Structure 1
């Protein structure tokens, strides 16, 4: 096993763990769920299907959208499904909900920042993005749109649909939708492992 391959694996695993952990942080902050969770909540309310199953179905639909974008799932895509949930449970288990508003804001900001870093880590490992991030990178590659614009556009669209369906929206939801795009636009290039190094 080469040093570069080991780096890719470790970067992928760290990114996926931190991604799930950051979700736990933002949930504990109590300021609103992410746009994708708003969509899942709204869909669940309208259909009567359990939230967890709706989340899985939405992930499947997103994967189907990869087909016209010529995206292919990788090891990272599969591990995303397997590891993010358990690491989110770790976050929920060790992070307490702050009693004061300022603590909630700091916790949410920390979770959002960690999620952006985690996204850069596991996408930069070049072992396959998660379903939703694959949609982002696929649109970027296919049409040449900036990553921040693609991510922000996706998040705002998902948020609007979920809100219209009755999903819970808070100030944290709005902050997530508006800020995650520009933040990921910084972290993905920063943690990107070049193709030559990735192949070594």
Structure 2
């Protein structure tokens, strides 16, 4: 796994040739139990690395299109699965805890439910006020620039933009860790504001 901008954050990635971007998964390493976000399959190297850091106690899935290898990894490591309450009626795998808007998931990690994306109640996560973790709605197919999920995949563009405006109001955000594309290290709040300005 690759070390990110904080000593307690790692990611592992998989290149998607259809979209010419990387897909990413996040590992938050913490004394109270490690948290994975949208985990992709683990290589032997990444599995060994994660196990050396304490494995995983929780898996957070931001939306049902990012289940990826969540169930397999949760079973292997004895982790609990957390997912969006907005998808409870149709979520395709068992979930231990449903997350709603403004949930304090763990100390330092908050959930924000996003409206208008391709699945209902998609989650964004805010880590200690400065790091935003996104699933599908906010992505980055070009380095240094955030973008929205394409209009054809949005369930409601107006509501999706309103959700991103909420994210853009988080003035302390410096880093945006996207599930799909290029990560943004530095000036994340400004990149979110630029995304809104381009999208209206």
- The normalised TM-score by structure 2 is 0.30
Q: Greater helix percent: which structure?
A: 1
| Larger CA Rg, structure 1 vs 2 | 1
Q: Greater strand percent: which structure?
A: 2
